[in-house]
Amino acid sequence: SEESKQRDFLTQLTLCFPETIRYKIEGKGEKEGEYKTLQRRILFIDDKDTFEDIPDQVSRYVIPRGEDTKVGDACKEILDQLLGILDINLGSTYEQVSNIIYENKLSWKINKREEMLSPNLIYVIYGVNDGNEGIFEPLMYLSFMLTEEIDISKDGLIELVIYLYEIQLLPDLRGQGIGQTMIQYLKATSTQYNESRHSDGNDISSIALTVFSSNERAFKFYTKLGFQYTVGSPRDERIVSIANRTRRRQARSTCESGSNKGYRVIKPIYYLLYVPIK
């Protein structure tokens, strides 16, 4: 059943993502610097409050009914913190494309907050605890969902995938291999899930995600980890100028070197990428 899939997936999640990780703080005048320990939090968005036997390490956030459903008092504080991390990293990009990708004129933060409350969305968050106040401050997070998608690895094929909505680290945590490690944990979760289900014919086939075409740094990061275009992904379109078409008829040599001279490239807003689970 869908409920048993979700429960098994959450169980493997708690086993594959460590309860703590460390990141290096560059010390002033110190050769080695020092390390800080981050604590793990796992949140599960539940719109019906019907899932049973969720692991103790997972916090359930039930979307409240009523006028303020999009915000939800139970989720508001943690969502504000995660939204703040996203704003630092990609706020300007979302501001430019929000009206197009969400197909409305609302601010990107309103649209994103509603998306962040999607049923069955899971957050793995690492942050620091204030020892005096007991306040948890997130420094990085992943949000993803176990779901069925079409046109990932084969045209028309419906596959069970982990759809990665966000992987966001504050700038101080970058360049230490943490993002790559998080993807490895997600792959390990998929593998362990498949093994725990004893090949029931509905294994997780891949991790899929959306990346903005303007975010070259992220695109290079994912492709370095083996991600590739899905079958249904938008692609760059190369437009050859009229004058250049004429020259090509005459010489058939323009752009054969692979340079960008003689044509312009129109990029989509985003690409869809995936990496198979082997």
Virtual torsion, Cα 69, 75, 76, 77, nearest 10 deg: 180
**For the chain, counts of helices (H) and of strands (E):** 6, 11
pLDDT in single tens digits along all 278 residues of the chain: 788 889 999 999 999 999 999 998 875 444 556 888 999 999 999 877 667 778 999 988 877 655 444 444 546 788 889 999 999 999 999 999 999 999 999 999 999 998 998 999 999 999 998 766 668 899 999 999 999 999 999 999 999 999 999 999 999 999 999 999 999 999 999 999 999 887 667 899 999 999 999 999 999 999 999 999 999 999 998 887 655 544 444 444 333 334 456 778 899 999 999 999 97
What is the pLDDT, as a whole number, of residue 99? 92
Contact 172, 25 (CB under 8 A): yes
What is the pLDDT, as a whole number, of residue 252? 40
Q: What is the DSSP letter of 15?
A: H
What is the pLDDT, as a whole number, of residue 37? 92
Q: Which of 123, 189, 141 is nearest to 38 (CA)?
A: 141
Tokens 């969502």, located at residue? 79
What is the pLDDT, as a whole number, of residue 131? 66
Please state, in angstroms and as integers, the Cα–Cα distance from residue 109 to each residue in 71, 94, 228, 244, following that order. Answer: 11, 8, 29, 43
Cα 192 versus chain centre, distance: 20
This prediction's pTM = 0.86
Contact 241, 194 (CB under 8 A): no
- Phi, psi values for residue 235, rounded to 5°: -130, 165
Strand runs (DSSP E) across the chain, as ranges?
20-25, 34-46, 58-62, 122-129, 136-150, 158-169, 204-212, 228-229, 237-240, 263-266, 270-276
Contact 63, 46 (CB under 8 A): yes
What is the pLDDT, as a whole number, of residue 27? 57
What is the pLDDT, as a whole number, of residue 78? 85
Distance CA 159, CA 28 (A): 49
Q: Could you give the 3-state DSSP secondary structure of residue 169?
A: strand
Query: Where on the phi/psi map is residue 165: left (φ > 0), alpha (ψ -120 to 50), or beta?
Result: alpha
Contact 190, 205 (CB under 8 A): no
